[in-house]
Amino acid sequence: MKQTTIARKIEAVGIGLHKGEPIKLVLEPLDANMGIIVSRTDLGISFKLEPQNVINTQMATVIGNEQGFVSTIEHLLGAIHGYGIDNIKISVDANEVPVMDGSAISFCMLLEEAGIDFLEEPKKIMLLKKELEVVEGSKFVRVSSSLKPKFDYTINFNHPVIGEQRYVFEFSKSNFIKEIARARTFGFLKDLQKLQAQNLALGASLDNAVAIDDTHILNPEGLRFQDEFVRHKILDAIGDLSLLGVSLMADYTAFAGSHDLNHKLTLAIFADEKNYEIVKMDKELVKDYAKVFA
């Protein structure tokens, strides 16, 4: 099985979640073995997608350095990983990726429009040699080796609308589009007011997030899934794990996970070369992998 990129350049414009201003997003093909590169066209700088370039995980996954950064990349990365794309250039003219509708489905539509192109080099994947876990109090994220990746995620919010939710997602491209891509980010009205007082979340609206007050969902259309909240957490996790720079063939389990725990998990994987192996696809692996990204 060969590495992939997109077949042609594609552009879109959307609102930034934090600044509330229009942002131009450009996706472009890259050659084999170049990976995923994120570029700030307004600053003329670029970042390679890797854990060492993550500089903040408080409200979103942010990559960058002292020269600049790009925030809220996880939904787009989730879509890119969901489509099994190995090499792509992401360019924005601001410090965040546009939020679109708060899910990954708009990015999926862009990738569909751009098309997928197969390159000459064999695809690489990461295999785990042992189970790895990051624990903080009652919260944890864990990965264990698997050729049929699953995401088993549980959240527990002390809120009448959310409560405890668990979703087990068997990873494949078709399942991603059907079960995960449309799940929107969510936030609490009381937190939004605090953020906007700090000139953050200025672009947040009912068009790009599920908003919740003390007792109700404020969006007139309601939820897209009864358990949309935990499904969105899975979307975040898929995007965060793509920071490994190569497709991870593993089961992922989480309780009350976060961008920060996911980032620490990627660092834990790379902390010791005995934890993993990056291999080129052989015939046996191709059979399993092809099913995942069919």
Binding-site residues from annotation for Zn(2+): 75, 232, 236
CA-closest candidate to residue 289, choices 247, 260, 253: 247
Active site residue 159: no
Torsion of CA 247, 234, 15, 72, to 10 degrees: -60
Tell me the H-state helices in 18-123.
74-82, 105-114
List residues forming the annotated binding site: 75, 232, 236
Q: Are 102 and 111 in contact (CB under 8 A)?
A: no
Beta bridge partners of 126: 248, 278
CB burial of residue 210 (10 Å; 0-12, 13-18, 19+): buried
Tokens matching residue 215: 């007792």
Residue 210 to residue 10: CA distance in whole angstroms: 28
Options 18, 159, 216, 259, the catalytic residue: 259
Residue 97 to residue 76: CA distance in whole angstroms: 8
**Would you please indicate which residues are annotated as catalytic (active-site) residues?**
259
